[in-house]
Amino acid sequence: MTASGPGTKTKDALGEALVAQHAGRYATLRAQWERAGDARSRLVAFVRMTADNRAELARSGCPVGTLCAELHKAGGPLADQAGAIFAELLGWLEEQFRALGRDAEATDLAVHLLSALQGVSLIAHSLDDPGHIDRETARLISWLHTL
């Protein structure tokens, strides 16, 4: 089968469906986090999502992070669509940090928070130990309260 054969269309359709599913899930979660109160509470709710899913993350890893990593190996429009999930999430995180008065460093703080959670998810999965997530999310929540 060539790269443009019939199996590719099915594979692309499956990939598009997965990306759409994850994008929809994050849109729903962002709407829930918006109801959490002020920006700090919204950021804490975001971190708690990782803590609440620690067993699944230790068992299977982050589904969005894994999907993005796999799709970006081949590149193309589907990889860009998957990357847009993280881009939108980073934009939302930046808004929260700006609301905390951290305008000048909002982008860096957003990247730091997301990468810390993605990193600890990868470590927990690699070592099959959700305890890493417990410790890192507690540390991140404490950090958020200092901002």
Query: Does residue 21 lie within any of the structural domains?
Result: yes
pLDDT confidence of residue 7: 57
CB 140 within 8 A of CB 113: yes
Counted domains in the chain: 1
pLDDT confidence of residue 1: 36
Query: Does residue 1 lie within any of the structural domains?
Result: no
Query: Does residue 25 lie within any of the structural domains?
Result: yes
pLDDT confidence of residue 10: 80
Query: Does residue 116 lie within any of the structural domains?
Result: yes
The CATH number assigned to the domain holding 84 equals 1.10.357.10
In this structure, the number of other CB atoms found within 10 A of the CB of residue 23 comes to 17
Query: Does residue 41 lie within any of the structural domains?
Result: yes
Query: Does residue 63 lie within any of the structural domains?
Result: yes
Question: Residues near 127 by Cβ (< 8 Å), separated by ≥ 6?
Answer: 58
- State which residues form the domain around 42: 6-146
Query: Does residue 106 lie within any of the structural domains?
Result: yes
Q: What type of residue is 128?
A: D
> What is this structure's pTM?
0.86
Query: Does residue 114 lie within any of the structural domains?
Result: yes
Question: Residues near 114 by Cβ (< 8 Å), separated by ≥ 6?
Answer: 86, 89, 90, 93
Task: Give me the residues of the chain with pLDDT under 50, please.
Answer: 1-5
